[in-house]
Homo-oligomer: A and B are copies of this chain.
Amino acid sequence: MKIVPRSKVIYSFSSQHKPVEHIKSGELVLLETEDALGGQIKNEESSLDVLDWSKVDGATGPIFIEGAARGDTLVVEILDIKIEEKGLIVTVPKHGILGEKRFKPSTKMISTNDGYVHFDEGVRVRANPMIGTIGVAPESGEIASGSLGRHGGNMDVKMLTSGTKLHLPVFVEGALFAAGDMHAVQADGELCVSSVEVAGEALLRFSVIKNRKPEWPILETHGCFAILACGNTLDEAATFAAETAVKAFMREYDWSFERAYMFGSLAVDLEINQVVDPKKGIRAAISKEFISLENMLT
């Protein structure tokens, strides 16, 4: 097993970054990650004013996956996630879904143990450790690790947890994978712009599907596939996700557009990942009863 330490951090996804590790298909990798605020906030008195914003939203990597080339699919298995007990959540004026309201910058330290996130006196939420940022280098240019796109990135999907697989399109040789921004728990939406931000480590295994790739990242659980699309608005993201799902049904069943579109009303659940990042994220979840991975790749 190879270990990639959290000191190996990037703040963008780009083909220009030099790989910090080379990994073979099937090899286990333990990826250590810093919290989304770069570990800069140690207590509730730390002011957000003194935060070095160039050191937030980092991702550990990039990792070069041997055998992955443009046009392939990188399959990432999340085998296990361990998080630190101590996390934090912040409100940042002008941010989050209610950013138009007047409110103060604030920080709350939150501990997670015994399977629960202890938010406040007598108020605890079951922990669900997840990876907020996970992706590969885009075809060209540089995409901030706090943003998201067809390459993945800061998707903030609560289902990206232990036991889930993620299928990412590969744009450059070696894929140049990186991940970070774990949350001890996050609900769909991530209303206030942050969730319970924690450092942690993820045990991952990679493999490659040659010469076929998804249009958007695809998450796979035991029971379903979910297309992870994003857009400037939720409505735009929902349209992208819906269109991708309908095209997959046309391939799966050899149906007309009209028939596949109808089936979308019965079998595609449009769900929300987050409403607070540079692009809004929607997932189109489809039971494995109704679609195969093969027909979600082109």
Contacts and interface: CB of A to CB of B under 8 A. Distances in A.
A108 B262 contact: yes
Contact of A264 (B189, B233, B282): B189
A261 B191 contact: yes
Contacts of A108: 259, 262
Interface in A255-298: 255, 257-259, 261-272, 275, 280, 282, 284, 290
A160 B242 CA distance: 23
Instruction: Classify the interface of chain A: helix, strand, loop or mixed.
Output: mixed
A234 interface: yes
Interface residues of A, number: 59
Interface stretch (A6-14, A20-28, A117-125): A117-125
B120 A261 contact: no
A209 interface: no
Interface stretch (A29-37, A50-58, A164-172, A180-188): A180-188
B265 A190 contact: yes
Contacts of A103: 257-258, 261
Contacts of A196: 265-266
Interface string A92-107: 0000111001011010
B238 A189 contact: yes
Contacts of A194: 262, 265
B239 A97 contact: yes
Interface in A183-220: 185-196
Contacts of A106: 258-259, 262
A63 B243 CA distance: 41
A266 B117 contact: yes
A272 B270 contact: yes
Interface in A229-256: 233-235, 238-239, 242-243, 245-246, 253, 255
A289 to B, nearest CB: 8
Nearest to A193: B265
A186 B266 CA distance: 5
Interface in A123-163: 123, 125
A243 B97 CA distance: 9
A220 B123 CA distance: 21
B189 A91 contact: no
A89 interface: yes
A256 to B, nearest CB: 8
Given A103-B258, A189-B284, A191-B265, 20 more contacts: A91-B258, A101-B257, A106-B259, A119-B266, A186-B266, A187-B265, A187-B268, A187-B269, A187-B270, A190-B265, A191-B242, A191-B245, A191-B268, A191-B270, A192-B264, A194-B265, A196-B266, A235-B275, A238-B272, A269-B272
